[in-house]
Amino acid sequence: MLEACVAAVDAMGCGLSVVGASGAQEPVLAVGEAADELEELQVTLGEGPGFDAAAGESVVLVPDLAAAVRRWPAFAPVALERGVRALFAFPVAAGAARVGVLSVYRRVPGDLGASRLATALTFADAVLVAVLDERGAVGAGPEQLRAGLLPERRAEVHQAAGMVSVQLGVGVSEALVRLRAYAYAHERRLADVAADVVARRLRLAPDRRGTDDTARGNEMMDAPPNRDHDQPGSGP
């Protein structure tokens, strides 16, 4: 379905994210060059057209991303470096509930035009239901939607959040915030940070967004990491 959307609106990529009951947004599917990275980046940074569309009530149309750097100072420059010049985010609804966002990434600046806009809106109405139908999950609530679509690497993020939640004595939502903050501060992908937490190569400390100073027996990552030096360590 996303492949068809890319072709129909002449996009370089499309991404689909799901919004859970807690309001947390999770990228679940992406097609096309850089779409997967940019979907995850919006969630990690907590900014971008898709993030705003998930939080708001309407579509977010950005025909010239270069003119929106002030609005999204962390996300927009990275997206521009990846070749994105226009970005359009459409809330996706299943029944009466808005449960996700469809993002369309384009290489050329400018409006979609009436025909492509109508096509994108049609895909926004249909794409999530179509994906769920393939899995026999039509009519499910937001949490069931996320669970049905969540790839293994996204499931690992939630596993890592659960581990951090226990380690720090905070809620899972706060644990996700801590993971995202660490990923952003160290210029790493959230999925890679989660993999290190699950593998017990990384532990976030309760006093700061970094590593646990009490666990010096392990090879931990504190300064911006060099992946060549990451070594498995023993558990806490």
- Residue ranges per structural domain of the chain: 2-149, 152-229
Q: What is the mean pLDDT of residues 81-91?
A: 94
Tell me which of 42 and 171 has the higher pLDDT: 42
* Least-confidence region, from 76-85, 173-182, 209-218: 209-218
Question: 2-149 belongs to which CATH class?
Answer: alpha beta
Element (H, E) at 61: strand 60-62
Strand partners, 119: none
pLDDT grade for 82, boundaries at 50, 70 and 90: very high
pLDDT for 228? 43
Residues 178 and 13: their CA atoms lie apart, in Å, by 29
pLDDT for 127? 63
Whether 138 shows a pLDDT value over 80: the answer reads no
Neighbours of 139 (CB within 10 A): 12
Q: What is the mean pLDDT of residues 129-148?
A: 50
Counting other chains too, the contacts that 170-175 makes at CB distance below 8 Å and 24 or more residues apart are 173/22, 173/24
Q: Is the distance from CB of 37 to CB of 189 less than 8 angstroms?
A: yes
pTM of the complete model: 0.64
